[in-house]
Amino acid sequence: MSKAFSPSCERNQQPILEQLAEHLKDSKRLLEIGSGTGQHAVYFAERLPHLTWYCSDAPDNHASINAWLAEANLANAVAPFAFHFGKNDWPALEVDAVFTANTTHIMPPSAAKLMMQTVAQQLPLGGVFCQYGPMNVNGEYTSEGNREFDLHLAQSGCGGIRDIDELKEWGTGLTLVDQIAMPANNFLLVWQRL
């Protein structure tokens, strides 16, 4: 088995679930951008059985995602396909929801911008995009820990923590309907195509 484990994923999934249960209650088919280890997909799909949960990530992560899915054996969680902004086209799926966790600050700014633009184009009217992770507010870090984390991201060659106003500019066609402060200085941004 190639099942990878993320402690932070384990810690944050219950608070995220509480929000997803509310904001995705009318959604039916969801694309997860960056399924990572596969933990979130299994945890959320099991607890949100009204959703079909489509996994996606770079091929390097597919073994772990598939291992988690195989163990859980859920009828509503779909095996991952290769998807990377700037490398792959948007999948040939009809979804009314998108979820991503801890990806925006890893992506180069060009990919984060492309994600916001593409989700805005691909979601149907009324579709929901839930985006979780660290964000800056009004050009400011929300904690000293996030400032240090952003420096680490820059040194690691990652894109860095994005400002919510920047994401609004990029996501033309999406309306930010909720901005929820989450544990560990993270946010869940809930966007809708209205």
The answer to the question of residue 37 being in a domain is: yes
The answer to the question of residue 158 being in a domain is: yes
The answer to the question of residue 57 being in a domain is: yes
Q: What is the mean pLDDT of residues 11-23?
A: 97
**Average pLDDT score, the chain:** 96
- Predicted local confidence at residue 189, as pLDDT: 98
pLDDT tens digits for 151-183?
Answer: 999 999 999 999 999 999 999 999 999 999 999
- Predicted local confidence at residue 2, as pLDDT: 85
The answer to the question of residue 46 being in a domain is: yes
Please give the tally of structural domains in the chain: 1
The answer to the question of residue 23 being in a domain is: no
Q: What is the mean pLDDT of residues 126-130?
A: 98
The answer to the question of residue 129 being in a domain is: yes
Whether residue 98 is predicted with pLDDT greater than 90 in this model: the reply is: yes
**SS3 letters for the chain?**
CCCCCCHHHHHHHHHHHHHHHHHCCCCCEEEEECCCCCHHHHHHHHHCCCCEEEEEECHHHHHHHHHHHHHHCCCCEEEEEECCCCCCCCCCCCCCEEEEECCCCCCCHHHHHHHHHHHHHHCCCCCEEEEEECCEECCECCCHHHHHHHHHHHHCCCCCCCEHHHHHHHCCCEEEEEEEEEHHHEEEEEEEEC
pLDDT tens digits for 50-97?
Answer: 999 999 999 999 999 999 999 999 999 999 999 999 889 999 999 999
Q: What is the mean pLDDT of residues 96-107?
A: 97
At residue 1 the predicted structure's pLDDT band, cuts being 50, 70 and 90, is low
* Structural domain range at position 105: 29-173
Q: What CATH number did the domain enclosing 75 receive?
A: 3.40.50.150
The answer to the question of residue 188 being in a domain is: no
The answer to the question of residue 4 being in a domain is: no
